[in-house]
């Protein structure tokens, strides 16, 4: 597989440099228009900056999350449209309504009782050190810098908090709940114990913009990327033109591998060794065409007993869930 296609290094690839150039061009073309729209919204909320902060950092990312997940839940329950099933990573168990209901309740509770208070707490802190709701938008380069730092901070905090939650002495009390789903669906990204939600979902995402003193529109963009990102990585579908979910899907399959998000710290700490020996690694690419990976990179033929002494558990699970 060509290195440039590999998700972990794709960030630095020429293809991505083109995308960044395209974004920069788009930003400059639209720059005045963005500023104009923002000023209209800013003036509309001029008496209530807190409401503006709430709209940008909670309402819009939450809408992004629930609109995408509503589609995924319908597909999960009905198996339609049928062509989606071609892109499925694991062969799911039939939809379990009770399990789905429990997940929905947990996710809504986590969002209402943990996410909203934590994000609203950001406002007075950020206001004390700066002005997140200034009328002047930040420049393209500053937004890009914010996003890069936020990704690196999230990768670091998520990796180590997640790794800690997998410690055998605490795993069953907190993080096991998230792993109830060995073949996850989109909303499972936020299906977790409250402490897990604070440590692994919220803190890694909010520390970055607070340290950077980001503009509220940059926070809106970052939070939307985070919630869409966690939905994609838990969706169970490897769809064209979207980031590969194979890395975290493999984590749900074999829970002592792939603790991070981007994969940098897993590579440095060697916690992706089994993943890199597995066929899922070859499939961990950005899919540029419409041909599903199940056709272009089909799983290996099923073996009755694994001959790979290093990864028996991986292969057993792999065949159980992925092979057709
Ligand atoms: Zn997960
Ligand atoms: Zn985990």
Within-domain flag for 284? no
Domain boundary among 237, 257, 274: 237
Helix axes 246-253, 312-321, angle to 10 degrees: 110
- Rounded distance from Cα 38 to ligand 1 centre (Å): 35
- Rounded distance from Cα 235 to ligand 1 centre (Å): 10
- Rounded distance from Cα 147 to ligand 2 centre (Å): 24
Ligand nearest to the CA of 163: 2
- Rounded distance from Cα 159 to ligand 2 centre (Å): 10
- Rounded distance from Cα 304 to ligand 2 centre (Å): 28
pLDDT surpasses 80 at 213: yes
pLDDT surpasses 60 at 293: yes
For the residues 208-223, what does the mean pLDDT come to? 97
Average pLDDT, the chain: 86
- Rounded distance from Cα 5 to ligand 2 centre (Å): 26
Distance CA 154, CA 171 (A): 21
**What's the domain range around 5?**
1-32
Count of domains observed in the chain: 2
Cβ-contact 146, 214 below 8 angstroms: yes
Do 151 and 8 sit in the same domain of this protein? Answer: no
- Read off the pLDDT of residues 234-265 as tens digits, 9 standing for 90 and up: 999 999 999 999 999 999 988 889 999 999 99
Ligand nearest to the CA of 191: 1
Distance CA 186, CA 229 (A): 10
Cβ-contact 271, 259 below 8 angstroms: yes
Do 120 and 228 sit in the same domain of this protein? Answer: yes
Within-domain flag for 310? no
Domain boundary among 181, 202, 237: 237
- Non-local CB neighbours of 324 within 8 Å, separated by 6+ positions: 91, 294, 299
For the residues 193-215, what does the mean pLDDT come to? 97
- Rounded distance from Cα 251 to ligand 2 centre (Å): 7
- Read off the pLDDT of residues 174-187 as tens digits, 9 standing for 90 and up: 999 999 998 899 99
Predicted pLDDT at 84: 87
Predicted pLDDT at 104: 97
- Rounded distance from Cα 292 to ligand 1 centre (Å): 23
Q: Which residue has the higher pLDDT, 110 or 288?
A: 110
Model pTM score: 0.83
Ligand nearest to the CA of 159: 2
Ligand nearest to the CA of 201: 1
Within-domain flag for 289? no
Nearest to 188 by CA among 93, 252, 95, 253: 252
Q: For a pLDDT cut of 70, what percent of the chain falls above it?
A: 82
- Rounded distance from Cα 231 to ligand 1 centre (Å): 10
Within-domain flag for 101? no
pLDDT surpasses 50 at 3: no
Do 122 and 205 sit in the same domain of this protein? Answer: yes
DSSP 268-304: HHTTTHHHHHSHHHHT-B---SSS-HHHHSPPPPP-S
Predicted pLDDT at 219: 98
């Amino acid at each position: 597989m060509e290195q440039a296609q590999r998700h972990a290094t794709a960030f630095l690839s020429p293809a991505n440099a083109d995308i960044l150039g395209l974004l920069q061009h788009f930003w400059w073309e639209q720059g005045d228009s963005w500023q104009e729209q923002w000023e209209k919204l800013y003036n509309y909320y001029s008496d209530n900056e807190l409401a503006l902060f709430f709209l940008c950092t909670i309402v819009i990312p939450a809408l992004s999350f629930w609109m995408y997940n509503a589609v995924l839940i319908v597909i999960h329950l009905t198996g339609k449209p049928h062509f989606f099933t071609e892109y499925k990573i694991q062969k799911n168990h039939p939809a379990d309504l009770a399990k789905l209901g429990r997940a929905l309740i947990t996710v809504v509770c986590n969002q209402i009782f943990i996410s909203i208070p934590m994000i609203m707490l950001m406002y007075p802190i950020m206001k004390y050190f700066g002005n997140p709701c200034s009328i002047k938008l930040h420049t393209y380069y500053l937004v890009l810098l914010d996003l890069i730092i936020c990704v690196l901070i999230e990768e670091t905090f998520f990796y180590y908090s997640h790794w800690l939650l997998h410690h055998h002495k605490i795993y069953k009390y907190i993080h096991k709940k998230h792993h109830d789903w060995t073949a996850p669906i989109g909303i499972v990204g936020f299906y977790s114990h409250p402490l897990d939600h604070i440590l692994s979902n919220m803190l890694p995402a909010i520390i970055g913009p607070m340290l950077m003193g980001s503009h509220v529109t940059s926070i809106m963009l970052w939070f939307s990327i985070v919630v869409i990102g966690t939905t994609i990585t838990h969706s169970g579908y490897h769809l064209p033109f979207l980031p590969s979910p194979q890395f975290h899907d493999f984590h749900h399959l074999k829970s002592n591998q792939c603790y991070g998000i981007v994969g940098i710290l897993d590579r440095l700490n060697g916690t992706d060794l089994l993943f890199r020996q597995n066929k899922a690694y070859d499939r961990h690419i950005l899919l540029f065409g419409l041909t599903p990976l199940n056709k272009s990179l089909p799983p290996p033929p099923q073996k009755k007993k694994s001959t790979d002494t290093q990864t028996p558990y991986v292969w057993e699970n792999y065949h159980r869930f992925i092979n057709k």
